């Protein structure tokens, strides 16, 4: 594969919001994984403690838009993409759906809010329309993260 072809392929994957791509031919193997890089703090608040401390606001569920295996973390990472207490914006990646052996679909926040809890188990087979995350979508001025994230660019 030529370098220009590889660059074009990576741009196409990025534009199509495809998180993983794998190609195998005799004597050749190519794996491309698209991901955000971040290093969360070592400790995370427990959901039960966090739920008790959150102010009561309107709740919103982020649902699966396809059938697949639900993943809270990227397969090459040990840390969940989001945790209870994280404030997310529209378009932030909350989790992944493994729809084929090599194709992962991002589960995106469709509203700004604070993650209250994850409603599905990691590696659970889910159907389209299954609630996956509960978000607190209270007043935007009330939404401050309970956990600091460090993002690498």
Q: How far apart are the first and last CA of the chain?
A: 28
Mean per-residue pLDDT of the chain = 77
pTM for the model stands at 0.57
Residue 136 has pLDDT above 80, yes or no: yes
Would the pLDDT of 41 be above 70?
no
Class of domain 37-142: mainly beta
The pLDDT of residue 45 is: 44
| Residue of higher predicted confidence among 150 and 144 | 144
When pLDDT is averaged across residues 126-153 and rounded to a whole number, the result is: 69
pLDDT score recorded for residue 49: 52
Nearest to 113 by CA among 79, 80, 145: 145
Categorise residue 33: left if φ over 0, alpha if ψ from -120 to 50, beta otherwise.
beta
Q: Of 23 and 44, which is predicted with more confidence?
A: 23
pLDDT given for residue 118 in this prediction: 93
**Per-residue pLDDT at 147 exceeds 70:** no
Residues 72-98: tens digit of each pLDDT: 998 888 888 999 999 999 999 999 999
* Segments making up each domain of the chain, as ranges: 1-34, 37-142
Chain CA centroid to CA 59, Å = 19
């Amino acid at each position: 594969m030529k370098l220009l072809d590889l660059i074009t392929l990576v741009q196409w994957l990025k534009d199509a919001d495809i998180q993983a791509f794998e190609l195998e031919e005799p004597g050749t193997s190519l794996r491309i994984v698209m991901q955000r890089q971040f290093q969360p703090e070592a400790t995370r608040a427990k959901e039960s403690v966090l739920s008790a401390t959150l102010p009561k606001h309107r709740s919103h569920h982020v649902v699966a838009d396809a059938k697949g295996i639900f993943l809270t973390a990227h397969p090459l990472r040990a840390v969940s993409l989001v945790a209870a207490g994280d404030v997310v914006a529209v378009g932030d990646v909350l989790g992944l759906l493994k729809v084929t052996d090599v194709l992962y679909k991002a589960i995106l926040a469709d509203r700004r809010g604070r993650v209250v809890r994850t409603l599905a188990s990691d590696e659970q087979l889910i159907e389209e329309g299954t609630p996956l995350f509960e978000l607190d979508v209270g007043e935007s001025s009330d939404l401050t993260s309970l956990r600091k994230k460090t993002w690498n660019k």
